Chain A
Amino acid sequence: MNAHRDIMTGLDATADERGSQKIDHDIVSALLVFGLSIALILCSRFISPALGSWDQVLTVLTLASFLVVLSFGQGLVILIGGLDLSIPALITLGGVLTTNWIGTGDFGVWYLLPVILVVCALVGAVSGVGVVWLKIPPFIMTMATSIVIASAALGYTNGTPRGGSPSALLWLMKERFLGVPVVIYFTIALVLLAWAIQSYTAMGRRLYALGTNREAARIAGVTVNRLELAPYAISAACAGFVGMMLVGYSNGATLRMGDSYMLPSIAAVVIGGSSILGGSGTFIGTVGGAILLTSLGTVISAIGLSAGWRTIIEGAIIVAALLVLRGELVVRLGNRLIAWKR
């Protein structure tokens, strides 16, 4: 009996070890991405002595906040093996509805903002319904949603969205607290919440299962159809929220404000270690990816070369960063970390 108990504790120990091994890998991966961002910012001193400063870090973090919120939603969709191309249109929708329905008047801002988020989530749910029940490939479904919403917004506003930003959003995006912009505190809180949801709740775990093997998840009792709807709705709500953030940032909305975030939202998720085919990756890694991309963009725009050379350098650095962040390297470092802990 004692022997049995020894074996059981032995097995448990291995399970725990394996579990903690996984956490270590995730942490190593995330640390590597953050480390690369810091290295990039420090190296930018060679380009200009004014760079590499605390001010630049704050600027990078403020600008990265949009991408961070966005790539949470995109990350969830990619986790289940899909892709959300409707993000630019939903950013626009969130922004246009905010300036049109609320504007600078602030009337009803506390209930209208959630209503707008719900509207965006509903649009996302429509995409989800198309993917899950009509069996339309996510690429086409979200692209169709994007085109329809963008055209509807164009028709609705006649091209010029009126209205400015409600003061609540202005406060979020422009105020500072103890010298650090409020939006950074807000983003950190969101990151912790989102990371907890994705990695430590039951729903999060079921999403991982869904992304790894849909059939197996279904057999295991996960209500795959309804669950698959959730990431699309969440992604759409995140995008709508980023639209609101952008309205606060620049005190107004335009119809193309989301366009430049399409590729970076996917890139941040992928650079952060998630597989484009689903089933792996953590949000902390994605956050690192978002910050890395934003730092890279900041450093690149400070280089005094022509647009062509700047673009080449940016691409080369991305490839180099990816090579450094490769799975094998992370595994080796992670193993060394575990060995060192013992």
Chain B
Amino acid sequence: MKLFRTLATAASLTLAATIGMGTLVQNAQAQDKKFKIYLSLSYSGNAWQSEAANIVKALAQTPPYDKTVELKEVISGTDPQAQISAYESMIQAGADGIISFPISSTALNRTIHRGCQKGVLFFMYDATVTEPCAYNVSYITAGFGENTAQALVNILGGKGKIFLSRGVPGNSVDKRHTDGAMHIFNQYPGIKVVAEYYSFWDDRTTQQETAKALAAHPDVDGIWAQAGEYGAIQALLAKGNKLVPMTGENSDGFRLALADPKMQAMGLKGVSAGSPPATAGYAFKLMMETLTKKRELKPMNIEYPLPWVPADQVKLCKGDTFADGCNVFPASKVPSSFVTEVFNPQFLPELSLQSALEGKPTPGATIQPLPAEIKQAPDAPGINCSNCKAPAGEYKLTKIEATVKP
């Protein structure tokens, strides 16, 4: 009996304490008619993810959205079960819209479907899902792989030994990029892929893997890289003072290197393309325009334009925005791992550097309407649709022409 009492006292004390602590945590929300928007991240802790999330947060605080949007950020980690659970909680909490970077293109479909049935809008940025009722906003169908591969082939004149620096094994984005690139490389018998490694879209890993590949093949002629490409440059510099033509994504370090006369003299040429964090802002504005009925948009796959900056077009930004066609920031303002494509003067004029770095709105900015046309993304099975086929000419070049005949 005494035991029972002790147990009961302990339990009720703890319950009281936790409830007390809990009510402290939960603020009483004003019952305005605000749109309840959830920003659902899976990965966190890399520059791309943080900048994309900061852009959405900044836009949500820019007038008039600061009065009409209640935005909450939820980070689930790399476990798909956790993101499924997060989506379910958000649907239950009465979300109007969920803007998200999904961890899996397929595992979340059932939960998304249930949410759609309850009237929740799902907008995915950069990564996509194959669920038809979700909106996918991504550059992935814009041909990063094939266009950068052709650029590299053009620079190399159709022959040479190259490295392939990939992303994460077992990931659809990595697969799509690499398939596109290999489609081009396979047309040129003079191009040999001597090393193919997984860099996990990380500068450090790219540097380490490139160093290993260089030990085996010191006479490489060019490198085709996904994100983390600045690490490859560091590996080349550490080995000797020679660089090779490279294509990669859009880290600040890579772009500055492309424009640096010293690096160019050492042999660096190439193109900076890759995944723009600005996609998140575009997706958010599309979602808000749909929610506020300014736009009538049925669930579809939307293509975000592929950034394309060859070495001779790199221009240093003087201020905090992409003005006058500038497209890279000085090293004093941002680290080399900063992903540069956070701006789009056409779609997102309300942003400045502070938005991407800290998630703060730009003083004096107000939300501008988006251009009316939207580019529909072609079907990509396994990426943005499940029972579909890729159109003919899936790997059509859009940014560049082949200057060398296969």
Contacts and interface: CB of A to CB of B under 8 A. Distances in A.
State yes or no: do A and B touch (Cβ within 8 Å). yes
B215 A301 contact: no
B215 A51 contact: yes
B45 A256 contact: yes
A204 B391 CA distance: 66
A298 B335 contact: no
A263 to B, nearest CB: 14
Main secondary structure of the interface of A (DSSP, over half): helix
A43 to B, nearest CB: 14
Interface residues of A, number: 42
A154 B45 contact: yes
Contacts of A308: 169
Interface string B200-212: 1011110111011
A59 B239 CA distance: 10
Interface residues of B, number: 43
B205 A158 contact: no
B359 interface: yes
Given A160-B338, A164-B335, A307-B198, A254 B215 contact: no
Given A255-B46, A307-B170, A174 B238 contact: yes
A301 B46 contact: no
Contacts of B266: none
Given A256-B46, A301-B213, A250 B196 contact: no
Nearest to A181: B238
A246 interface: yes
B37 interface: no
Given A301-B195, A301-B213, A158 B54 contact: yes
A55 B213 contact: no
B334 A160 contact: yes
A307 B215 CA distance: 20
A302 interface: yes
Contact of A48 (B214, B216, B238): B216
Contact of A260 (B205, B238, B358): B205
A302 B194 CA distance: 9
B204 A159 contact: no
B345 interface: no
Contact of A159 (B51, B197, B198, B213): B51
B47 A301 contact: no
Contact of A63 (B44, B45, B54, B212): B212
A304 B161 CA distance: 14
A159 B50 contact: yes
B74 to A, nearest CB: 13
A51 B213 CA distance: 10
B234 A250 contact: yes
A163 interface: yes
A256 B50 CA distance: 12
A333 B260 CA distance: 58
Point out which of A58, A62, A153, A255 has the most chain B C-beta atoms below 10 A from its C-beta. A255
B234 A251 contact: yes
Given A252-B203, A257-B204, A260-B200, A160 B335 contact: yes
Contacts of B197: 301
Contacts of A174: 238
Of B51, B170, B213, B215, most buried by chain A (CB within 10 Å of CB) is: B215
Contact of A59 (B53, B212, B334, B359): B212
B49 interface: yes
Nearest to B331: A164
B262 to A, nearest CB: 16
Nearest to A103: B335
B213 A254 contact: no
Contact of B215 (A55, A99, A163): A55
Given A164-B335, A254-B204, 15 more contacts: A50-B215, A50-B218, A59-B212, A154-B50, A160-B337, A163-B335, A164-B331, A250-B234, A251-B234, A252-B335, A257-B202, A301-B197, A301-B212, A307-B170, A307-B198
30 contacts: A50-B215, A50-B216, A55-B215, A59-B215, A63-B211, A150-B45, A154-B45, A158-B54, A158-B358, A159-B46, A159-B47, A159-B51, A159-B54, A160-B357, A164-B331, A164-B335, A164-B336, A174-B238, A250-B207, A250-B231, A252-B336, A255-B44, A255-B50, A256-B46, A257-B204, A260-B205, A297-B212, A298-B212, A302-B195, A302-B216
In the A-B complex, list the 4 residue pairs whose CB atoms are closest, starting with the nearest.
A159-B50, A255-B45, A307-B169, A56-B215
